[in-house]
Amino acid sequence: MDMNIGNSLGNSAASNRFRSRANGFTLIELLVVISIITILASMMLPGLAGAKDQARNAQCLNNLRPIGIALKLYVDDNAFRFPPSSVVDTDSVPKNVSAALGGYDPVSSHAPFFASAARRPLYNYMRPSQVYKCFKDKGQIEYGCTIPPMKPSNFETIGSSYKFNSGDLTVLAGGGFKLGREGGMANAPESWVPEPERFIMVHEPPARIYGCGKAWWAQWHQARGVTDVEDVVYSRQRFISPILFVDGHAGMHNFSKSLSTDPLFPYEPTKEWIWYKPVLDLASP
């Protein structure tokens, strides 16, 4: 009798242990599973972040296509000439629109420098929308001369992340254009442009120099942390910008070599792009 009771108790204990293992994990097994999940997550997150970054780059690039169509419609309706560099706004004050082909109204602090949305050249061809916004836009200090704790984007301040190559190309003291520059493309006829497939029409700030009492460079794409650069020679070489060319095609280009190799002459022609028309244009008949 006692032996049967013992066997019964032993069988009951074994059965409880079996049910316990069948209903859950041991602490060691749980820790192993958590470790595996952590390792897998650490392997996947950089790839996901990279995919998100590439998607934003693509969005910034794709915006240039409808902007290019609107620009072409404008040119066709205005004696085949490109938009002007300035307009007279409703308050009769000349305002620079070289960096604001279209988009939203500027904030009050920038109103003296940029036209209202309705006075911008592309307003009647493409009304203000998110097409004028690049989600990588980190803003600049060009018009503030100081870096605030939370620097707004160009889209937030002037209503557009994109800038027109009207000819106002900033150069360092002692620098310039090796071939001599023949004005800019603002108000110029389409026929004025040499090699439309290489001539830059619209760009983002990381492509070039901007000034605010001193030279500043901006890095938006593939950049982490501080995006305003004071010394281009020692930068992280991430001056990447989506570009719209006069012939209508767009592409993402890296301007790091041009900006840092010879900072005094950063706009010289390459096999990929042209910033300015030389005084003696050898391509002209």
Give the mean model confidence (pLDDT) for residues 38-49. Answer: 64
pLDDT at 5: 47
**Residue 69 — pLDDT band, cuts 50, 70, 90?**
very high
pLDDT at 112: 84
pLDDT at 9: 44
Q: How far apart are CA 285 and CA 268, in angstroms?
A: 22
DSSP SS3 for 121: coil
Helix orientation angle between 64-77 and 27-62, rounded to the nearest 10 degrees: 10
What are residue 29's phi and psi, to 5 degrees?
Answer: -60, -40
**Candidate from 36-40, 68-72, 78-82, 146-150 with smallest mean pLDDT:** 146-150
DSSP SS3 for 11: helix
Q: For residues 233 and 197, which has the higher predicted lDDT (pLDDT)? A: 197
Tokens of 169: 């190309």
pLDDT at 226: 75
Q: How far apart are CA 275 and CA 182, in angstroms?
A: 11
pLDDT at 39: 79
pLDDT in tens, 4-42: 544 544 555 555 554 545 556 677 777 777 777 777 766
Q: How far apart are CA 231 and CA 208, in angstroms?
A: 13
Average pLDDT value for the chain? 82
pLDDT in tens, 247-280: 999 999 999 999 998 999 999 999 999 999 998 6
Q: Region of 267 please: left (phi>0), alpha (psi -120 to 50) or beta.
A: alpha
pLDDT at 29: 73
| Residue 284 reports pLDDT greater than 50 | no
The answer to whether 242 and 204 have CB atoms below 8 angstroms apart is yes
**Residue 101 — pLDDT band, cuts 50, 70, 90?**
very high
| Residue 283 reports pLDDT greater than 70 | no
Question: Which of 62-71, 94-103, 145-154, 213-222 is most confident?
Answer: 62-71
pLDDT at 45: 62
Q: What is the helix (H) or strand (E) element at residue 155, kind and residue range?
A: helix 154-158
